[in-house]
Amino acid sequence: MVAAAKRRELKEAQRRRQQKEQRLRQEEVLSNTSLVWSLHILPHWALMRSSPRAQDLWWGGLPPRVRGRVWSLALGNELNITAELYEIFLSRAKEKWSLNETDGK
């Protein structure tokens, strides 16, 4: 019984060590990817946005550190909608929606 418990402990320790190594690899990949985005792709967005390297990195998942900036550049804001203007339009839409709901009943 003691031998079986010892084997379980060894297996559990090995599993924990493998999980830790996996997390470290993932963190390293994330860090490296963030650096590539920050140093090579974002500063040259107009040229790099459709490059195979950028596309591959994007499909692999954007690191949280650069996610907002990448999406902002990718989507753009051609209408120059500010946060204040957005709130105005949102309140108008809600008002119109509530009027339509009361008219339909």
Say yes or no to pLDDT of 99 above 60: yes
Nearest-CA neighbor of 30 among 47, 48, 22? 22
The pLDDT-based confidence of 103 (bands split at 50, 70, 90) is low
Whole-angstrom distance, CA of residue 19 vs CA of residue 14: 9
Write down the pTM of the prediction: 0.59
Helices (H) and strands (E) in the chain, counts: 5, 0
Element (H, E) at 40: none
* CA distance linking residue 36 with residue 53, whole number of Å: 10
The domains located in the chain, with CATH, are 2-78 (1.10.10.750)
Q: How many CB atoms lie within 10 A of CB 37?
A: 22
Please tell me the predicted confidence (pLDDT) of residue 30. Answer: 86
Look at residue 86 and tell me whether its pLDDT is greater than 70. yes
User: Given this model, what pLDDT does residue 104 score?
Assistant: 60
